[in-house]
Structures are given as structure tokens and as C-alpha cells.
């Protein structure tokens, strides 16, 4: 059957230079934790899941968070690791399947930081790691990281990036958002250290800079580094790592200078202004401040934003497919360069193709069921 491209969305389907590769379009699959990798090893079902999104027209896939080689990196059952022969062999299969379908893919390298608690996989005896000690009824549940701990984490990020390039990934994303490790240092709400990793914005940014520099040194100069950051935290939707554009610049500009190629500005609603007295979104501010390409994300293609109800099941949840004209307009006016689609792609692997072909009315709605299995 011959299909005709919808001219109203043509901006989404322009190629984009990505290191020594070219992405077929501006659509990115957002990283979404799936907990479908028993033993921390991504299996054939995971490979099929990602391949189907590449076949469905996604230009770049960012994998779910995958944990670096550090004792406190993991905080959830059945999430994949990015270390060890078996896990890396599993990821090699994922890469091969995505490339065979014509897609590009990068892993999201992850350390959950102070979100972890004793009792979690893979070693229940290991506490969380973060900027500050956290105790619960006299028991240390989060360990304040020493400089040795920090050096170990920096080295683990670098090794994971090196392995990503070795097994054929097209770049890496560093998870610096949502109250996980790097973000927990960036945010003054979770970092009241008094040493060189706390206090000023420059000090709070130091661990992220060390990770970026180590990763940049570990991979080829044209191997893209994406850095995902957020203002909001899972525990505080109103939180900000930068309360003004100037404060945000003090974080993002040094990261760009250290080697970040693309920023991934995570918001719950991509269209919401980032600061008072300006209509500009977080993605638009990031692009202006750094001069780097930016990925926008946040409820793209759905009529309901992400909330805790998605995970707790406290209310019946259906997010219906909705128009994307406003997002395309912001892309055309240069607010951002790429757009990450999350929940909509969980329910509809063919989302990109259907959008390009003007078949948006055929896109499946997102329901909570899409979180419990891998829809391929």
C-alpha cells in the first residue's frame, strides 16, 4: 500500500546529524524503566521491544535506565545492568536488532543514588549512596559519599560508556535527573554538603562534570554524549535545580564545555514555561543558554501528564492520543531540535509511522496495562 506523508508534520521527519551517524528524523524514544530483565540481563523480549520501535519509525531510541558497575547503582527489581559479560551480551543483541531495523540506539547509564534503600536488589545489605547521610530509626539507609566513593562512581560511568561504544551503541545518555545520583548533588534540597561537592552551584555540579569529562575521555570524539536533567523531582514536582536562567546556566554551560553534545530537558509537560516572566520552555532556555541541541520531552502526544497515579493505580488512568500541532510549531520555531515520546510509544510501537502518514486517529491510547508488559 502506498502511503502519503502528512506535510503538517514534515519538521518532525527531517534528518539530524548525530555524531558520525545521521538520524532519520527528530523523534526519540524516551527512556522508560520496564523491569523486564530478570537477573539484570536484557533478553530476546527486550530486543524485540526496542526493534519494534525502530521499525515503527523512531529515529533514536534511548534505552530504559541501565545500571553502572557500582554496589549502590540499582534500586529496583528486574532492571537491566550495563556491566558483566551476560548483560553486555544481551545489550549487544538489542543493538543488533535495532540496527537491523534501521534505527539508532543509545543506553541511558544510571545510578539511582539516594533513592536506593537497604533490602533492594542485587545486594540487600547495600544502602543508598548520596550527598548526605539519611537515617531511618537510627539505621543509615543512605550513605554520604566519600571522595573515594565518588571516584569509583565516575570510573564506573566511564567504563560503561567505553563498553557502549565497544558493543556498537550510537552514543550514550547520562541520567542526571529526577533525584537520582547526579541530580541529588545538583539540587540544594538534597545536597547540604560543606566540602567541594556542596554549597555553591559550581560545587554541586562538580560530580556531574567529573562524570562527563571521564566519559568524554573514554569514548571517541564523535561519540555523542547526551545529558538528561530535570527541574522536578519524584518527591517534589515544583523543585528546581536552577531558580533563574542565570542559575541554570551555571549548571548547564560548564557541562556543555566538559563534553555534553545534547541536553535532554525532562519536564512533565513540554509546553510549560520554565521561569516566571518568560513564555519559554525549559528546552528553549537550555538551547539558548548552551548553544547545544536539545531534546524536549513531557506528555508528547497525550492529553494527560505523568503523575504518581500511573504507578500507584489510585485512579483509573487512560491517556488518549492527542494532536501534536503545538509541539511541531515549537520545533519549527527552534525551541528544540528533537522530541522524546514516552508513554505514547509504550502503547503504540507504530506511533512515528502513523504520525508521518496522517493516521493519528489510529494511534492506541495509553493505559496502565502498557506499563506491565513489553508491547512489541
Q: Select from 335, 339, 107 the least CA-distant residue to 223.
A: 107
Tens digits of residue pLDDT in 70-94: 999 999 999 999 999 999 999 999 9
Q: Is residue 213 part of a domain?
A: yes
CATH number, domain of 146, equals 3.20.20.70
Q: Is residue 1 part of a domain?
A: no
Q: Is residue 299 part of a domain?
A: yes
Inter-helix orientation angle 44-55/85-100, to 10°: 30
Q: Is residue 261 part of a domain?
A: yes
Q: What is the pTM of this model?
A: 0.94
Distance in angstroms (rounded) separating the CA atoms of residues 345 and 64: 13
Three cell numbers, residue 74: 540499582
Q: What is the mean pLDDT of residues 156-170?
A: 98
Owning domain of residue 100: 7-371
Judging by DSSP bridges, how do beta strands 27-29 and 60-67 pair with one another? parallel
Q: Is residue 81 part of a domain?
A: yes
* Cβ proximity of 96 and 51 under 8 Å: no
pLDDT value of residue 366? 79
pLDDT value of residue 344? 86
Q: Is residue 351 part of a domain?
A: yes
Tens digits of residue pLDDT in 53-63: 999 999 999 99
Q: Is residue 336 part of a domain?
A: yes
Tens digits of residue pLDDT in 123-155: 999 999 999 999 999 999 999 999 999 999 999
Tens digits of residue pLDDT in 306-336: 444 444 444 445 545 556 888 999 999 999 9
Q: CA quadruple 101, 7, 297, 197: dihedral positive or negative? A: positive
Q: Is residue 2 part of a domain?
A: no
Those residues whose C-beta lies under 8 Å from the C-beta of residue 225, and which sit 6 or more positions away, are 161, 171, 172, 173, 174, 212, 215, 216, 219, 259, 260, 261, 262
**Which of 1-15, 34-48, 231-245 is the most confident on average?**
34-48
Q: What is the mean pLDDT of residues 21-40?
A: 97
Overall domain count for the chain: 1
Three cell numbers, residue 116: 536506593
Q: Which of 49, 129, 180, 197 is catalytic?
A: 180
Distance in angstroms (rounded) separating the CA atoms of residues 125 and 104: 38
- 180 has catalytic annotation: yes
Q: Taking 80 as the threshold, does the pLDDT of residue 302 lie above it?
A: no
pLDDT band at 360 (very low <50, low <70, confident <90, very high): confident
Amino acid at each position: 500500500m502506498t502511503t502519503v506523508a502528512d506535510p503538517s508534520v514534515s519538521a518532525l521527519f527531517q534528518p539530524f546529524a548525530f555524531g558520525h551517524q545521521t538520524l532519520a528524523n527528530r523523534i526519540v524514544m524516551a527512556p522508560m524503566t520496564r523491569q523486564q530483565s530478570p537477573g539484570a540481563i536484557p533478553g530476546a523480549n527486550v530486543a524485540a521491544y526496542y526493534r519494534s520501535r525502530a521499525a515503527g519509525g523512531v529515529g533514536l531510541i534511548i534505552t530504559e535506565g541501565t545500571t553502572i558497575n557500582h554496589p549502590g547503582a540499582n534500586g529496583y527489581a528486574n532492571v537491566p545492568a550495563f556491566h558483566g559479560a551476560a548483560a553486555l551480551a544481551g545489550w549487544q543483541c538489542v543493538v543488533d536488532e535495532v540496527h537491523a531495523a534501521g534505527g539508532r540506539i543509545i543506553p541511558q547509564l544510571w545510578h539511582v543514588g539516594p533513592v536506593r534503600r537497604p533490602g533492594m536488589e542485587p545486594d540487600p545489605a547495600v544502602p543508598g549512596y548520596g550527598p548526605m547521610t539519611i537515617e531511618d530509626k537510627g539505621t543509615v539507609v543512605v550513605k554520604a559519599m566519600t571522595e573515594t566513593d565518588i571516584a569509583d562512581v565516575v570510573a564506573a560511568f566511564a567504563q560503561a560508556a567505553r563498553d557502549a561504544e565497544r558493543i556498537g551503541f550510537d552514543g550514550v545518555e547520562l541520567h542526571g535527573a529526577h533525584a537520582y545520583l547526579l541530580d541529588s548533588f545538583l539540587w540544594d534540597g538534597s545536597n547540604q554538603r560543606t566540602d567541594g561537592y556542596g554549597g555553591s552551584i559550581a560545587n554541586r555540579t562538580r560530580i556531574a562534570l567529573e562524570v562527563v569529562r571521564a566519559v568524554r575521555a573514554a569514548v571517541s570524539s564523535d561519540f555523542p554524549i547526551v545529558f538528561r536533567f530535570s527541574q522536578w523531582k519524584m518527591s517534589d514536582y515544583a523543585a528546581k535545580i536552577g531558580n533563574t536562567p542565570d542559575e541554570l546556566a551555571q549548571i548547564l554551560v560548564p557541562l556543555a564545555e566538559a563534553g555534553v553534545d545534547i541536553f535532554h530537558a525532562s519536564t512533565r509537560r513540554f509546553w510549560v514555561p520554565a521561569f516566571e516572566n518568560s513564555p519559554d520552555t525549559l528546552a528553549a532556555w537550555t538551547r539558548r543558554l548552551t548553544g547545544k541541541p536539545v531534546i524536549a520531552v513531557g506528555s508528547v502526544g497525550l492529553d494527560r501528564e505523568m503523575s504518581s497515579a500511573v504507578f500507584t493505580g489510585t485512579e483509573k488512568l487512560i491517556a488518549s492520543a492527542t494532536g501534536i500541532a503545538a509541539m511541531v510549531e515549537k520545533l519549527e520555531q527552534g525551541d528544540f531540535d528533537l522530541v522524546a515520546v514516552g508513554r505514547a510509544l509504550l502503547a503504540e510501537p507504530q506511533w512515528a509511522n502513523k504520525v508521518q502518514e496522517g493516521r493519528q486517529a489510529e494511534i492506541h491510547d495509553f493505559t496502565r496495562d502498557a506499563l506491565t508488559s513489553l508491547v512489541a
